[in-house]
Chain A
């Protein structure tokens, strides 16, 4: 395979690297920083982020958003999705982006409902 053209800009063109190898190290540093933020938040658990937003603690929303950011950079830069044709990218990413949140939504709502039933029912489950 002769050389494939790599797109060397990340963060919407904010940072442009000179070579593909340099970009890899750049992405590694970025992923490490995100992981360190996650771990530090997980250990400190700041009181201000413990309040609830849409049935979940704010800190958990932050974790999930940071995870998706990490997943994006792993897929786009390590797995070279940035260099693929948009048709291929779309056929890979769209089914996942549509199906997974849908599945998560229905099952989490159902889990919450079962919790309510068991909590408010006449039968004691904790004896």
Chain B
């Protein structure tokens, strides 16, 4: 047994310390209670996401149309494959962690170190994948416009039904619209970065290209976004107020503004957990290498950090479901 405290007379010593309630050490139990509170935090975020989604149930972006990238496959429509891969990477790094914990129970130092290292690698690959996913999300692919009512309009080719990027049809209108910078201002304010095209250029280009139609945010009964007729599109395009490219915290080309906010917030918060998990894993890994736990006589620290690591995996399982599948 790990400790030498054997209560001599059980009844008297219950409150004098040294015993383990529920057969679990102090550190491990506190890790569990931290996980419980963190799980409630995450469920708060995910439920808030569900609330916003139910509130905009007929106009929420469809994940399959947003996350379509896969590394080295340019222009290929690959919904979900990449996040599925990320899920496998994270589950696999969870498995190497359990093996490390198991090796720790058998006091096999080298095996613990090897599998800790594999876990750290898996975590790093996952964080990198998430950064790539963010990059694609922020840069956007096709661009869209926003109407006076705050609705996002995307552009389709009426014949093929495929999305069309702004740069493929926007007219070139020579103009001298310059970005307002703080050095030109009376006060210290500046405006956000100008999009590549002005509203005028996009609208003119749309009118000139007969084959283009507008895809609205609205969803029909079968779960597809409603595409307007050419006449309806021309009517709608006149209400354009902004050109939106990619995503930021204010507006995004995918649809509802809240969608990007929740994406950044929830996957960002989860990614931050993975990052801190990798850092904590590194600390424990070096402690294993220099033999701290060998001298201590138990590898319970590996087990505790393992609990945290599995929890991060567990949260991803839910984020994956609610962001990408449902």
User: Distance (Å) between the CB of B171 and the closest chain A CB?
Assistant: 26
Measured CA separation A126–B298 after assembly (Å)? 63
Number of interface residues of B (CB under 8 A): 70
Check B22 for interface membership: any CB of A closer than 8 A. Answer: yes
**B-facing residues in A1-27 (Cβ within 8 Å):** 1-4, 20-21, 24-25
In the complex, chain A residues whose CB is within 8 Å of the CB of B222: 50
Mask for B34-55, Cβ within 8 A of A = 1, else 0?
A: 0110011001100110111111
Q: Check A71–B51 contact: CB distance below 8 A.
A: no
**B-facing residues in A86-127 (Cβ within 8 Å):** 87-88, 91-92, 95-96, 99-100, 103-104, 107-108, 110-112, 114-115, 118-119, 125-127
Number of interface residues of A (CB under 8 A): 55
Check B317 for interface membership: any CB of A closer than 8 A. Answer: yes
**A-facing residues in B140-154 (Cβ within 8 Å):** 147-149, 151
User: Distance (Å) between the CB of B221 and the closest chain A CB?
Assistant: 10
User: Which listed residue, B2, B23, B88, B310, touches A74 by the CB 8 Å rule?
Assistant: B310
Q: Check A103–B91 contact: CB distance below 8 A.
A: no
A60-B326 contact in complex given A24-B102, A74-B94, C-beta closer than 8 Å: yes
A78-B98 contact in complex given A32-B88, A111-B53, C-beta closer than 8 Å: yes
Measured CA separation A84–B35 after assembly (Å)? 16
Interface residues, chain B, with chain A CB atoms under 8 Å away: 1-2, 22-24, 29, 32-33, 35-36, 39-40, 43-44, 47-48, 50-59, 64, 79-81, 84, 87-88, 91-92, 94-95, 97-99, 101-102, 105-106, 147-149, 151, 218, 222-223, 239, 297-300, 303, 306-307, 310-311, 313-314, 317-318, 320-321, 324-326
Interface residues, chain A, with chain B CB atoms under 8 Å away: 1-4, 20-21, 24-25, 28, 31-32, 35, 38-39, 42-43, 50, 57, 60, 63-64, 66-67, 70-71, 74-75, 77-80, 84-85, 87-88, 91-92, 95-96, 99-100, 103-104, 107-108, 110-112, 114-115, 118-119, 125-127
> 30 interchain pairs (CB within 8 A)?
A1-B105, A21-B99, A24-B98, A24-B102, A35-B84, A42-B325, A63-B321, A63-B325, A70-B317, A71-B314, A74-B310, A88-B22, A91-B22, A92-B35, A100-B39, A100-B40, A103-B43, A103-B47, A104-B50, A107-B48, A107-B51, A108-B47, A108-B54, A111-B51, A111-B52, A112-B55, A114-B55, A115-B54, A115-B58, A127-B148
